[in-house]
Structure 1
Amino acid sequence: MSDDPLDALLNEMAPRDGEPIDPAAMARRDLQKALPKRFYKEATAQAQNGAFVLLLDGRGAKTPARNKLALPTLAAAEAVAAEWAGQDDVIDPLAMPLTRIVNSTIDGVAREMGATADEIAKFAGSDLVCYRAGEPEALVRAQAAAWDPVLDFARERLGARFICAEGVIFVEQPEPARRALKEAVGRVAQGGPAAPFALAALHVMTTLTGSALIALAVAHGELTPEDAWAAAHVDEDFQMRIWGADEEALRRRARRWKEMEAAAMLWGLVA
């Protein structure tokens, strides 16, 4: 086995056999492991062969699958370098959500663009904002206030008219609405060298919020990441107001927010 500390770190960060390349899943696994010591003094970004790479003490960094850690814009590479520079005595993957998304982009999404786009588009059939409570009235109003603007955005900007249903009974969305959402995601996937990173960011935002429409609203500047996050947790916040805060749920949400924030940042740096 190599004594190189970077190789050792990559082995620790790499997915196990059969494990999906997924930033959230990798973070949960990393909670159970001892953190590796920081082995570099300086983390920087540098232009190289038409891309921008992360350098650790002048040496090119790699992803867990041993691909070059290269990004399409200097701003994105500098943001990743800032995460590495911000590590203290140990390297904590939980404190590096942007790096995790970039790794999963390079090692996974870039090879599976069509499949990733399809996963996002599938949310058209069960998007969070289309399923509403019938009561109590306070929750009905809260959902409408948070989610109606998202449906307005989909109609006005994407040309997609979605149907709302009460309760959890499945509703078949109109084919034109599903097609319009798929086309919107497809345009992201066809966005040139930055497309894998933008698509990965959109995928993370979609899965974290349970809504491709909320994620696309962030991507189009219709919602801030903070407002999108609040919209995704309307039901949970309503229940907490009635029954009190669930501290463990709030801790999980805080960890997931870091991933949401990083995904929105990545989108803004590459899209």
Structure 2
Amino acid sequence: VIVMFAGQRAALLLTRPRVAHFSQVPAVHQSISGRTRFYKKVDVIPTPDGKAGQYSITLDGRVLKTPGRNPLILPNLNLAMSIAAEWDAQTNKRMGIQPVNMPMMSIASTAIDQIQVDRTHAVDTCMRYLPTDTALFHAPDYDRILQAQQKKHFLPVLEWAQKELDMNLATSQSMAGRIEHPEAAYNKLRSILEKMDYYTLTCVQGATLECKSILLSLAFISRFIDLEKAIAASRIEEEFQVEIWGVVEGGHDMDRLNNAVRLSSVGTFMSMYLDHEQIQQQWKRWKE
């Protein structure tokens, strides 16, 4: 029974869009990967144009740019300080500079170089997950243990989506296909995504890809669920299999680590970008 369900689930995953995760996009200066640190001092300064509340980062006095050679302008001091800290932490002489250890830089660069220029791809990517959204597919009744875990984590999110988004979405116990939703649900979701600023949309896209769920992503970004719950909800089926068959070293353990790093990076970026009151204000505007 377990193998059958896992196989059906694998078939469903094959129908999902294959797109690069934001941390896999060459959003940080990949050409310097492994290079010996070439700067001594990292500073945060107000942007040269003097625009209030915006900051740049300098390496030995030179203003840092994105991989797309765009000005790296951060919307507040917290984000600027966090990215400056990533650059300042590149002190391993043997490994050299490791862009993989700069998740805040990666998110900011992706937002500036890609999402700010053309948000269409990011919106479409998120939208494509709704028919196969992880939160909408539940195990059959004979898999009661797995089903119970799914209901524990998914049902509160579905109730939240119905209340906050006015979206009464169908669920399925069949893993063989896609769920058809009313056109109004797609229009509502697209409207929300298109109203988001490019930093928030970048984070939503990253969380969607990691959770295989636009619903879990929105619940996480809006802070209806916290990081711990987002991680647990995104890994229900894999952890269920681990409990039965055990951990495959170099496989499950790395998946856990990558999942935690990617979602915590998104959560950290958003918490530094918008505080609780600000995110609630934005959420009201997005829903209008």
Alignment correspondent of 2:181: 173
Partner residue of 1:81 out of 78, 81, 84: 84
Cα drift, residue 224 of structure 1: 0.7
Cα drift, residue 139 of structure 1: 0.2
Partner residue of 2:122 out of 116, 119, 130: 116
Alignment correspondent of 1:4: none
Cα drift, residue 47 of structure 1: 1.4
Q: Deviations over 1:230-256 (max 9, x none)?
A: 100000000000000122232133124
CA RMSD of superposed structures (Å): 2.3
Supply the distance in 2 between the matched residues of 1:72 and 1:176 (Cα, whole angstroms): 34
Supply the distance in 2 between the matched residues of 1:120 and 1:24 (Cα, whole angstroms): 17
Alignment correspondent of 1:41: 40
| Letter aligned with residue 235 of structure 1 | E
State TM-score, norm by structure 1: 0.83
Partner residue of 1:183 out of 191, 210, 214: 191
Q: Evaluate the alpha carbon distance shift between residue 21 and residue 149 of structure 1 in structure 2; reply closer, same or farther with a 3 A threshold.
A: closer
Alignment correspondent of 2:239: 237
Task: Map 1:34-183; keep pairs closer than 5 Å.
Answer: 35-48=34-47, 49=49, 50=51, 51-88=54-91, 89=93, 90-134=96-140, 135-168=142-175, 169-183=177-191
SS in 2 for 1:55: strand
SS in 1 for 2:43: strand
SS in 2 for 1:166: coil
Q: Is the 8 A contact 1:43 1:57 kept in 2?
A: yes
Bigger Cα displacement from structure 2, 73-82 vs 166-175:
166-175
Q: Deviations over 1:39-62 (max 9, x none)?
A: 222222221122311111221011
In structure 1, list runs of 5 or more residues that go unmatched. Answer: 1-18, 189-194
Partner residue of 2:226 out of 224, 227, 230: 224
Q: Deviations over 1:117-158 (max 9, x none)?
A: 222122222211001110311001001101111101111111
Q: Is the 8 A contact 1:130 1:163 kept in 2?
A: yes
Q: Evaluate the alpha carbon distance shift between residue 107 and residue 21 of structure 1 in structure 2; reply closer, same or farther with a 3 A threshold.
A: farther
Alignment correspondent of 2:277: none
Alignment correspondent of 2:8: none
Cα drift, residue 67 of structure 1: 1.2
Supply the distance in 1 between the matched residues of 2:185 and 2:122 (Cα, whole angstroms): 19
Alignment correspondent of 1:23: 23
In structure 2, list runs of 5 or more residues that go unmatched. Answer: 1-18, 275-288
In the comparison of the two structures, how many residue pairs are matched? Answer: 245
Cα drift, residue 86 of structure 1: 1.6
SS in 2 for 1:72: coil
Supply the distance in 2 between the matched residues of 1:112 and 1:23 (Cα, whole angstroms): 18
Q: Evaluate the alpha carbon distance shift between residue 144 and residue 180 of structure 1 in structure 2; reply closer, same or farther with a 3 A threshold.
A: same
Supply the distance in 2 between the matched residues of 1:42 and 1:167 (Cα, whole angstroms): 56
State TM-score, norm by structure 2: 0.79
Cα drift, residue 161 of structure 1: 1.2
Partner residue of 1:212 out of 211, 214, 219: 214
Question: Identity over the aligned pairs, expressed in percent?
Answer: 26
Q: Is the 8 A contact 2:231 2:259 kept in 1?
A: no
